[in-house]
Structure 1
Amino acid sequence: MRCKTEHLHNITSNGSSVVIASPRNTVYNISVHNLSEVVSQRISWTPSGAHRELCLLKGKSEDDCSNYIRVGAKLEDSSLLVCGTNAYRPLCRKYKNQDGTLVPEDKDIEGKGRCPYSPSHNSTALFTDGHLYTATVADFSGGEPLIYREPQRTERSDLKQLNDPSFVSSISYDNYVLFFFREAAVEFINCGKAIYSRVGRVCKSDKGGPHQFWESWTTFLKSRLNCSMPGEYPFYFEMKYATSEVVQGEYGGSYDDIIYGVFNTPVNSIGGSAICAFSMRQLMETFDGPFKEQDGMNANWLSVPHNKVPEPRPGACVNDSRTLPDFTVNFVKTHSLMNNAVPSYFSHPVSIKVSWTSKFSSIAVDPQVRALSGTTYDVIFVGTEDGKVAKIVNVATGGVGTQTHALVIEELQVLPPGTPVQSLSIVRTVSQNHAKLLVVSNKQLTHIALHRCKVFSSCADCVNLQDPYCAWDTKLRKCVPYQERSAMPAAQFIQNILKPASAQCPEDSSSDVRELTDEHNEIDNQILDSGSESDGQECAPAKCPSCVGQCADSLASQVASQQDKIVIYTGNTLGLTVLTSVLLTLLIGFTAGYLCSRFVRNDTYTNIMPFHARQQLNRLDNSSSLESGNPAAAGNTVPSSWTSHPNNKNTLNLVMNVCHETERSPKNDLNEKNSTLENSKNTLQKVKKTYI
């Protein structure tokens, strides 16, 4: 079932319903069971006419001057706090449940610092321990970012604390509130501009500083998140886009709290995405490490020496921060950046995807899913920018060690192609037996099951899936969700997460099971009939339920006899045969082409030789006849002057086509010269030059 509206935003949820905000003046209460709306609890909140006209006068569009709900929190008294942009004048309201209907209080609350002015600004909010923590902007232009909890806030126009941040998420952990965001790296400013992923931390007990620091955080610190491919020159994924909730489990033989995050590369870099995990223990240790500072405008950012850090340590949680000395408060204001980065928990990303159009955009984790072997695995669901949801299993959570290996189980096209997945949430009903994955985009809400075990009909397909949710039930001969049948004996199921096959499944994909159960398989029926005739008894399971074992034995013998008659060729034999055929074909073709070219060459040269060339060759033959003393064999073309001097040795000039005498007689010298000149003139006028 799908719920289609405009610009959906998941703001809060509980076990039975989820509050979805459509920034166009509406908040929906959606039932998790069937995604039906609780109409009586719909909230409609439009900006007043004066606020809308003022927004239009400031140059904003009609769409921007609506009320976009960006903050929603369920308060301790079961009331609902809602904050919206309200035509670029943020306001908040409290709604109370009266007889199943949400009724607003009479007075609105100022929303500056709690809700952004622009509906497109990345902001985050968290309600915990009776306070609302927000990370947003506090001005119309969006140039004043802040982390706020009334009345404490980050410093105004201080690039060392926040430098053009884009906030992603916020979580509560122990006595701290953590903010995840990305920003322009101030420590890299001397080398250019770069975006770093950050995690910021404030103490819940922070009450501000003494005197003039009463509205300043005394515990705000931030560290860099290192999501990169390790090596001599690491490749970083700096654009953080989403984080999961903190999950607890056994990782590499030890228990730890970790959080998963989705990171992308910049738009002008190689298109890629990565999923990195971070240990909460290592994250907190970075805030206890050295600080980072810059002595001068052109100086490098270096670690602060330990002897320059004042006591009590800046940024630490104390009972009453208003009693801290001014020097400590000033130090934390100018040294909010920590020197050490938070390393990836498995030393490298859990999963990496290289793509220009299908980057990761959202994440949800179902932690510690117990497999048949008793090992637990984190199942990660990742949304992409083109409407797909990928299901990934982190097998490093199964005690394999710190070396992680991600198994991509499947990737489904849940939303229309090109529609980014804005958020993912795993919700379970009261019974906890049926879980769903909520998929939210800007205009659509839908849900899918956490597994698709029933799609796979054979043992091999079910086991090769390597899905912790699914196992092959040998009794029912079906691929079933193992968690729903965990009370059954483990020997009844077949599952293998680390290997794509199981020796417990027959090599022929459980053909014996199909032959005994599939009544529509004609080949199986023929084998069963032949087996019953040979045994001299009726062996069909439908007619003889008590002899199923005998049928199976008879069937196995029949299949074995059939396999003996079939000649099976291995892959190596087939490959060698194909290669031999190709080589023989090339050899035969080359030999035939060579012989044909030799035959065609002789015939072609004779036919295409020009007439004057053949004439010169004929004359060469005539000259050779004359030299042998047989002028008559030369034909009628022999000049009479050649025959008048039989003792002369004449040679043919191939250039001038005239005869030269190697031995001359003193007699008739003048006549011969005249004759030679006449013949030379005539020959030069008619005969072309030919080079052989």
Structure 2
Amino acid sequence: MILLLVLCLWGPSLLTARAVMDSTARKTVTLSSNEGHLFREEGVWNYSSILLREDLGLLILGAREVIFALDLANITDKRAMVKWQVTRDMQVKCSYKGKNLETECQNYIRILHKMSDGRMYVCGTNAFNPACDYMSYKDGKLTLENKQEDGKGKCPFDPFQRYASELVGDVLFSATSINFLGSEPVLMRSSTESIRTDFKSSWLNEPNFIGMEHIAEREQSPEGDDDKMYLFFSETAVEYDSYSKLEVSRVARVCENDMGGQRTLQRKWTSFVKARLDCPVPDSSLPFLIQDVFRFCPGKWDTCVFYAVFTPPSRTSPYSAVCAYSIEDIRLVFSEGKFKTPVPVETSFVKWVMYSGDLPFPRPGACINNDARQKGYSQSMDLPDKTLQFIKDRPLMDQAVQPISDLPLLVRKGAAFTRIVVASATALDGSSHSVMFIGTEKGSVLKAVNYDGETVIIEEVQLFNLSEPVKILRLSNSTGQLYAGSEVAAAQMPLSSCGHYKSCLDCVLARNPYCGWDLTAEYCTAVSSTRPDTPSDVVQSLREGNASRCPSIKNSTALNMTFHPGNTIKLLCQPGSNFAQVQWLKDQQPLVSSEDFQIKSDGLLILNASAETSGLYSCSSVESSKSQQYVIHNVAYELRLGSGRAGQWEDTSRLLPQVQKNQHIVVALQTVVVLLSLTLVALVLWNVYKGHFSFLPRCFSRGQEAEVGQDSVPLEASADKASGEGRNSNNNHNRRAEEKDCVT
């Protein structure tokens, strides 16, 4: 039943989806090659909360029981730190409640917000007893004021539970669990007039909070509307009559100045409404679940777009997706859409259907606007009970919010997406592009751009170890840097980083909006740093990837190499990108893999070389862009049949370092084999000399009796063997006889 229901809901989207599957990053680079920095402190873990203090030039980094102040330009420069540890007694009490003493009963810093007076509001899990404090930075020192407040409802108890928070005008909005067991989730505003959600499954049903974004809709609003807080989360759906739990993604909304109701919904939100959030992924039978969200506003509030990453429930699919939602589409669902209503049926469960009756005035879930004020409703406490009772029982919208163009921006197979941020980049022609930076569970960040419906993954930068997921992403437009946190470290990388493109073709085919090839200076430069009066000297082609303006590249000088018959030869060559294919030529003729030639990902392997192996070998990278092929010449080798010692190289100063290294290893191994052989021969001769080998004639053993023929031994010698004196005499005589016999 659940499968049929899901197919009915998502089927049309799946059939029309045209998202690119198995998207590959054009380049795979390391953090160091991308001009990045890594920060870690010995014995400190869980670098998962970040506050950018661009006014101070600092990155405030929260970890387990410690807070760092790092230089925003280079996070390896630690300016200050302060510890916020729990006492041993608190740890013991926490463990008595069934929590792990070492991993859970610590103080994990979860909330970092800047206040209007320049101080910071900090909250931590505090050994399953959440607390908040105020922190300041002055004279190069971080200081906690020790004015601790109760953090229940503001900060999670569980350090590994998802949460969301936002500080607006020194008023904290938070979404987390309000009790130790995590069974009472709330969306709460902490102020003198605290407001929260109702404890009803129709409001929040086992939610997993993801993110919270404030939208200042009151600015330039012709309706005189209020500012809004948008909450993104996933939860167990109440509207599907399935035998097993079905999780769906949601977006909810409340009005910033909601004061609750007069009688109904006292100190509860009167404006809480929620809707399903769809991200249709082809070939998926279950809805994908939201993992992170980022608000991107190129202009005023009505231009805002929410970018979100989605993954399948319980890894039922190997794909992850990115979907984008306009604020206008979400607003229309809440302000004009139909509601769902619960209807009891005979089988003793509740079925949710679309509400088709008349709506009370003012509209349930709406903020107080000019129209409501004209009718005498100046605040939420003036709303009639009919409106409040309706929204208390029916906070769920019937219509789902669909992504822009009804399709994901990106669908990719591989490491699951974890986090996302979006930056704006201005291209050479003045066009603006949204650049997505997507964190993965394998510690990397994807840089991706959508050009007219085509999403291009420019590169994948490996920030952390493959087993360390990206837990948080933040970007600074003032410094042009991206910051990331994981369990073991924090990382920093530039948004542009054009220096690792070494040729015009490589720079232009990357289709990186930050970069262009300077024809005069002959290097890949940041477009933002180009002179406005000389844009024609810089080549950039984002939508087409047209590199026809790039100058032709001269073939590289061939490296001379001498070989001998029977040698195995490795010629090194790396493709220019993950999109490129390596092409090998021998004397200008294409090479294919065979018994003698094996084309590897990093070079050409020549087996059992012979005289016919001699010749000129060249390696090129061939990359296609918009049905046009571009060839980059990588390296060339001149192989010659040698006449000297086997394995000898000519002109070694011009060889690749790896080739030289391999040759040195071979020589070293040969030397070791010779030394071992000589040692073995010496041991054999010594044992022969000592007579340890009994199967040899004793004439080869000195100091032992030789078993020579009876006719060589004097008769009187055998008669005197009974006496010691005779034995010694006879032994001397026998040795002389043995020596004579051996010489004979």
Shift of 1:249: 6.5
Q: Deviations over 1:38-81 (max 9, x none)?
A: 544x2222224443332122122222221112112111122211
Summarize the Cα distance change of 1:458–1:56 in structure 2 as closer, same or farther, 3 Å threshold.
closer
Shift of 1:181: 0.6
Residue 94 of structure 2 aligns to a residue whose secondary structure is helix
Summarize the Cα distance change of 1:39–1:480 in structure 2 as closer, same or farther, 3 Å threshold.
closer
1:204 aligned residue: 256
Maintained 8 Å contact 2:296/2:422: no
Structure 2 matches for 1:492-571, cutoff 5 A? 492-506=537-551, 509-511=552-554
Alignment of 1:167 with 2:206, yes or no, is: no
Q: Of 332, 351, 358, which residue of structure 2 is paired with 1:285?
A: 332
1:580 aligned residue: none
Summarize the Cα distance change of 1:418–1:104 in structure 2 as closer, same or farther, 3 Å threshold.
closer
Shift of 1:214: 2.5
Alignment of 1:389 with 2:456, yes or no, is: no
1:680 aligned residue: none
Q: Of 311, 332, 341, which residue of structure 2 is paired with 1:264?
A: 311
Q: Deviations over 1:354-393 (max 9, x none)?
A: 22xx1111111112x1212222211111111111211111
Alignment of 1:332 with 2:391, yes or no, is: yes
Write the distance in 2 (CA, Å) between the matches of 1:50 and 1:105. 22
Alignment of 1:185 with 2:228, yes or no, is: no
Maintained 8 Å contact 1:360/1:383: yes
Summarize the Cα distance change of 1:229–1:238 in structure 2 as closer, same or farther, 3 Å threshold.
closer
Residue 313 of structure 2 aligns to a residue whose secondary structure is coil
1:594 aligned residue: none
Alignment of 1:247 with 2:289, yes or no, is: no
Q: Quick check: which one's helix share is greater?
A: 1
Residue 303 of structure 2 aligns to a residue whose secondary structure is strand
1:311 aligned residue: 361
1:475 aligned residue: 520
Shift of 1:299: 5.1
Shift of 1:103: 3.7
Shift of 1:155: 1.0
Write the distance in 1 (CA, Å) between the matches of 2:458 and 2:189. 42
Write the distance in 1 (CA, Å) between the matches of 2:389 and 2:52. 40
Shift of 1:337: 0.6
Maintained 8 Å contact 1:227/1:236: no
Shift of 1:86: 1.3
Shift of 1:239: 1.4
Residue 283 of structure 1 aligns to a residue whose secondary structure is helix
1:19 aligned residue: 60
Summarize the Cα distance change of 1:472–1:38 in structure 2 as closer, same or farther, 3 Å threshold.
closer
1:401 aligned residue: none
Residue 499 of structure 2 aligns to a residue whose secondary structure is helix
Structure 2 matches for 1:625-640, cutoff 5 A? none
1:152 aligned residue: 195
How many residues are paired up? 496
Paired-residue identity, %? 30
Write the distance in 1 (CA, Å) between the matches of 2:386 and 2:95. 47
Summarize the Cα distance change of 1:568–1:146 in structure 2 as closer, same or farther, 3 Å threshold.
same
Write the distance in 2 (CA, Å) between the matches of 1:104 and 1:117. 21
Write the distance in 1 (CA, Å) between the matches of 2:524 and 2:50. 36
Q: Of 455, 473, 476, which residue of structure 2 is paired with 1:424?
A: 473
Maintained 8 Å contact 1:229/1:236: no
Maintained 8 Å contact 1:11/1:20: yes
Summarize the Cα distance change of 1:500–1:370 in structure 2 as closer, same or farther, 3 Å threshold.
same
Maintained 8 Å contact 2:281/2:321: no
Write the distance in 1 (CA, Å) between the matches of 2:50 and 2:521. 43
Shift of 1:29: 1.5
Maintained 8 Å contact 2:82/2:144: no
Write the distance in 1 (CA, Å) between the matches of 2:540 and 2:590. 29
Q: Deviations over 1:428-466 (max 9, x none)?
A: 4xxx4x512212111101112223322223222221111
Write the distance in 1 (CA, Å) between the matches of 2:537 and 2:480. 24
Indicate the structure whose relative CO is greater, using CA pairs within 8 Å and at least 6 residues apart: 2
Maintained 8 Å contact 1:467/1:497: yes
Alignment of 1:53 with 2:89, yes or no, is: no
Write the distance in 1 (CA, Å) between the matches of 2:62 and 2:454. 37
Larger radius of gyration: 1
Residue 186 of structure 1 aligns to a residue whose secondary structure is coil
Maintained 8 Å contact 2:49/2:109: no
2:352 aligned residue: 301
Maintained 8 Å contact 2:311/2:320: yes
Q: Deviations over 1:76-97 (max 9, x none)?
A: 1222111111111111112244
Maintained 8 Å contact 1:153/1:217: yes
Structure 2 matches for 1:432-471, cutoff 5 A? 432=478, 434-471=479-516
Q: Deviations over 1:619-663 (max 9, x none)?
A: xxxxxxxxxxxxxxxxxxxxxxxxxxxxxxxxxxxxxxxxxxxxx
Summarize the Cα distance change of 1:212–1:294 in structure 2 as closer, same or farther, 3 Å threshold.
closer
Write the distance in 2 (CA, Å) between the matches of 1:391 and 1:380. 6
1:364 aligned residue: 421
Write the distance in 2 (CA, Å) between the matches of 1:212 and 1:97. 45
Shift of 1:99: 4.4
Residue type matched to 1:143 in 2? S
Residue 47 of structure 1 aligns to a residue whose secondary structure is coil
Maintained 8 Å contact 1:294/1:300: yes
Q: Deviations over 1:556-606 (max 9, x none)?
A: xxxxxxxxxx998899xxxxxxxxxxxxxxxxxxxxxxxxxxxxxxxxxxx
Write the distance in 2 (CA, Å) between the matches of 1:373 and 1:345. 25
Maintained 8 Å contact 1:10/1:18: no
Write the distance in 1 (CA, Å) between the matches of 2:139 and 2:550. 58
Shift of 1:316: 0.9
Q: Deviations over 1:245-272 (max 9, x none)?
A: 223269xxxx932111000112251211
Residue type matched to 1:305 in 2? S
Write the distance in 2 (CA, Å) between the matches of 1:128 and 1:189. 39
Maintained 8 Å contact 1:290/1:306: no
Q: Of 451, 461, 468, which residue of structure 2 is paired with 1:412?
A: 461
Residue type matched to 2:393 in 1? T
Write the distance in 2 (CA, Å) between the matches of 1:32 and 1:462. 28
Off by >3 Å, runs of 4+ in structure 1: 36-40, 96-107, 189-192, 233-237, 297-300, 566-571
Shift of 1:496: 0.8
Residue type matched to 1:45 in 2? W
Write the distance in 1 (CA, Å) between the matches of 2:257 and 2:187. 15
Write the distance in 2 (CA, Å) between the matches of 1:423 and 1:111. 22
Alignment of 1:32 with 2:72, yes or no, is: yes
Residue 27 of structure 1 aligns to a residue whose secondary structure is strand
Q: Of 275, 296, 300, which residue of structure 2 is paired with 1:223?
A: 275
2:177 aligned residue: 137
Normalising by structure 1, what TM-score? 0.68
Maintained 8 Å contact 2:504/2:517: yes
Maintained 8 Å contact 1:178/1:201: yes
Structure 2 unmatched runs, 5+: 1-36, 217-226, 369-377, 559-585, 592-744
Q: Deviations over 1:96-140 (max 9, x none)?
A: 445443444454211111111111111111101231000000111
Residue type matched to 1:500 in 2? G
Summarize the Cα distance change of 1:116–1:280 in structure 2 as closer, same or farther, 3 Å threshold.
same
Residue type matched to 2:311 in 1? N
Summarize the Cα distance change of 1:459–1:96 in structure 2 as closer, same or farther, 3 Å threshold.
closer
Alignment of 1:108 with 2:148, yes or no, is: yes
Maintained 8 Å contact 1:470/1:481: yes
Residue 349 of structure 1 aligns to a residue whose secondary structure is coil
Q: Deviations over 1:149-170 (max 9, x none)?
A: 13211112x1100010111111
Alignment of 1:2 with 2:38, yes or no, is: yes
Maintained 8 Å contact 2:473/2:485: yes
Structure 1 unmatched runs, 5+: 397-403, 515-520, 524-565, 572-692
Residue 239 of structure 2 aligns to a residue whose secondary structure is helix
Summarize the Cα distance change of 1:59–1:31 in structure 2 as closer, same or farther, 3 Å threshold.
same
Shift of 1:291: 0.8
Residue 295 of structure 1 aligns to a residue whose secondary structure is strand
Write the distance in 2 (CA, Å) between the matches of 1:39 and 1:449. 21
